[in-house]
Structure formats: C-alpha cells, structure tokens
Chains A and B, each alone.
Chain A
C-alpha cells in the first residue's frame, strides 16, 4: 500500500517568508507526528496529533511554528517569518493505534532551505 507522502520534497524560501509543508499519512493511521532533522543529527520531535487534535505540541520551538490536521488525515506544518535556522529536513510519520509496537512509518521528508 501507499506509504506516508510529503510535499513538496524541496522548498527554498527567503528569510521572513511563510511556508506550508504537507503530510499525507498512511490510510487508517490515527496518529501523526512531525519531526525536524538538522544535518548530522537525529530527528527532533515537534508535534503529535491523535485524530484531529494536537496531543502533544511540546516540541514546537516557538510560536512561528503551527500545525493542523483538520479532518484527522492530512496535516500541514506552517512556519511564519522563516529564519535561516529553520533550514532542515522536516519529517512526517504516522502510526496505527492497534499495531503491536506502534512503530512509526516515516515519509521521505521535505528539505527546507531558508536563504
């Protein structure tokens, strides 16, 4: 079946601009996660949705970052007034509630470059 998809695969923007990153999880997966991976590091947690609601947004670095999942499926990560330090690969993952390990399935990521 189809895996987690993310669009765009690459996004180049200028400092101060607004960007939206989209994640389409595996069908039927109730949980959706956003992570950010900087060069040479492991992914860092940003936010986790269970259904439509954000169950944990403790990883969002500041109020420039916001994410929504209005219908419990597709999610959009929104970054306002982008800064050069926001440059990273943004990974989305999803998981099923009833799987044995609740392992997370990751998408290919969106590489964000802020000039």
Chain B
C-alpha cells in the first residue's frame, strides 16, 4: 500500500489565484513529520514547509500553508497568490518515527505537476 498518495497528476491555476494540492498519508506511527518539496524543471528539490504530527496549528511559510487534518490523514498544500515561478512538480513526503531531533529517510508521493497560467 502506498504511504503517500497524491491523486492529482497535474493541476492548472490562474496567476494570482490560490491552489490546493492534495496529499494523503498512511502510517501507524503516532509521531511523524510531513514535508512538501518543490522540484522545478532544473531538478533540484526545494523544501517548502513542514508539519509535525503533534503540531496543533497548521504550518505556514509565506504564501505556503499546510491544511493538516490528522483524523483524515491528509496534509494538503495551499499556495496563495500563485506566481508564474510556482510552475513545478510538488512532492509530499513523510518521515515516520519523528521523535524530537530524529532523522530518517523520507517517503515521497508521485508528485503533482502545477502549471500557472498568465
């Protein structure tokens, strides 16, 4: 079974509009971390935002916010005021056993290709 599911292979959004990219996850751990990365056509993965499983408030970083619904096991990324430079692949990822200071591998979804139209 997939641990990270991104059901939208591609999304279009008009410049300056908001867009939501979906992500659901599957884990039996109580402590875990959720990440979103952006991968432009250049190929480099860029960290955007993080949500810990025990965080009570949704994470925000500038124009990025994470809509975390723990009971539904979803961690959707919301990008407000889309810009042309937001066009890229977006990956949702999870790190299980996310105890304080822990490090471990990320499990990635298949990604969503976002295209911003002028």
Contact = CB atoms under 8 A, between A and B. Distances in A.
B43 A102 contact: no
B50 to A, nearest CB: 4
A95 B103 contact: yes
A104 B106 contact: yes
Most buried by B among A48, A102, A108: A102
Contact of B101 (A42, A43, A44, A97): A97
Interface residues of B, number: 26
B105 A107 contact: no
Contacts of A89: 43
Nearest to B110: A42
Given A31-B103, A97-B103, A102-B103, A109 B44 contact: yes
Nearest to A95: B103
Given A42-B109, A43-B108, A45-B107, A104 B101 contact: no
A44 B108 CA distance: 7
> Contact size class for A?
20 to 34
A98 to B, nearest CB: 7
Contacts of A91: 45
A33 B47 contact: no
Given A105-B47, A108-B43, A109-B44, A42 B103 contact: no
Given A42-B4, A56-B104, A59-B105, 15 more contacts: A33-B106, A89-B43, A95-B103, A97-B103, A101-B33, A101-B52, A102-B95, A103-B47, A104-B47, A106-B37, A106-B44, A106-B46, A107-B44, A108-B42, A108-B43
Interface of B: 4, 33, 35, 37, 42-47, 50, 52, 91, 93, 95, 101-111
Top-7 shortest CB links A-B:
A42-B108, A106-B45, A45-B105, A101-B50, A103-B47, A31-B103, A108-B44
